[in-house]
Amino acid sequence: MKFKGQTHFYSGKVRDVYTIEDQYLVMVASDRISAFDVILPRTIPFKGQVLNQIAARFLEATKDIVPNWVISVPLPHVTIGRKCLTFPVEMVIRGHLTGHAWRTYKSGLRTLCGVTLPEGMKENDAFPQPIITPSTKAHEGHDEDISREDIIAKGLVSESDYIQLEQYTRALFARGQEMARKQDLILADTKYEFGRIGDTIYLIDEIHTPDSSRYFYAHGFDERQRNNEPQKQLSKEFVREWLIANDFMGKEGQTVPEMDDAFVASVTARYIELYEKIIGESFVPQVVTEDEVVRIVDAIMVP
C-alpha cells in the first residue's frame, strides 16, 4: 500500500507502519503471528482486527492516566496516530509468576531484571506486589531483559523519565486488572511502550491484547492453584507452549513446526474468545481490501 504524503514504511513482526509527513503514523495490524521473536509461517485470520479493536478500547479507557498516540481508528485493523520518539525499552509488568518469569524461576534463578523473586512460589502464583521487569526493544532478533539500574546507567532513559514510566506502568496495570476483574478475568502480566513529543510522554502501540498480555480465567483460579493444575488462560502463551512441545524456541538450527489448518483455526478461535470475553461483545469479522484502506486513510489524512 502507498498513502498520500507517505514518508516512510516499516514492516514489523505483526504490524505494518506507514509514516505520513513525518508527523503521523498509520498502523495496520496484520494477521501475522510471532512467537520467540520469530514470524510464524502462516497467518491467523482476523487476528489483526481483534488486536486493533481491543487495543483501541483500552487506550480509550486509560487516556485519563496518560495521553496516548491515537488520533482515530477508521477501520477495524487500522489506527492513525501521532509519531512519537520511542523510548528504547518495553515496560513489562507481572502480577503472577508465569511465562518467561516462570521459566527463569524454574531454572533456579531468583532474580529477574534486578528484581528479587520470593522463594517457595509455584507457577502462576501471584506476586505480593506486581513487579516491573523491563526489556530492551529489538527491531530484529530477541528483546533482552534489563534492570532499572542498567537502563539509567546506560542512558537509555533518564532517571526522571524512568520514574514517570514506572508510575504510568503501575497505574495502567491497575486499571487493566480492574477492567479484567469485571469480566471474570485476571490480567496476569503485560507490557507497555512509551514515546514522547517534546516534553510530553505518550503511551504508544497496543495495550492489554493477547499479544502483549496474559489473562487467566478468575473462576476456579484458586482451586486450580491448590490442586497444582494448569490455569485456564487467554493469551498467546498456548502458541508458545505448542511450539516448545514441538521442539521450537526460536533458537539457531531449530525449524518451525508445520501449522496445519486445524491449529490455525484453533488460534483464531482463541483470539476471538478473548475479544468477546474481555470486551463483553460479540466479535463481528470484517474483511477490508487494501484499496479500501488506502482510500479511507487518504481521505482522512489529505482532505
Q: How many domains does the chain have?
A: 1
Which domain CATH number covers 100?
Answer: 3.30.470.20
In this predicted structure, the answer to whether residue 302 has a pLDDT above a threshold of 80 is no
- Whether 36 is covered by a domain: the verdict is no
**What pLDDT shows up at residue 274?**
83
Cβ atoms of residues 188 and 96 within 8 Å: yes
Q: How far apart are CA 137 and CA 258, in angstroms?
A: 28
- Whether 197 is covered by a domain: the verdict is yes
* Per-chain mean pLDDT for the chain: 94
Q: Tell me the pLDDT tens digit for each residue of 13-37.
A: 899 999 999 999 999 999 999 988 8
In this predicted structure, the answer to whether residue 141 has a pLDDT above a threshold of 80 is no
- Whether 180 is covered by a domain: the verdict is yes
- Whether 80 is covered by a domain: the verdict is no
pTM given for the model: 0.89
Q: Tell me the pLDDT tens digit for each residue of 252-279.
A: 899 999 999 999 999 999 889 889 998 9
The backbone torsions φ and ψ at residue 202, rounded to the nearest 5 degrees and listed phi first, read -120, 145
- Whether 37 is covered by a domain: the verdict is no
DSSP string, 255-290: -PPP--HHHHHHHHHHHHHHHHHHH-S--------H
In 111-197, at which residue ranges do the beta strands (DSSP E only) sit?
111-112, 115-116, 126-132, 135-136, 144-145, 185-197
- Altogether, the residues listed in the chain come to a count of 303
- Whether 41 is covered by a domain: the verdict is no
Q: How far apart are CA 94 and CA 101, in angstroms?
A: 8
Provide the domain limits for residue 98: 86-235
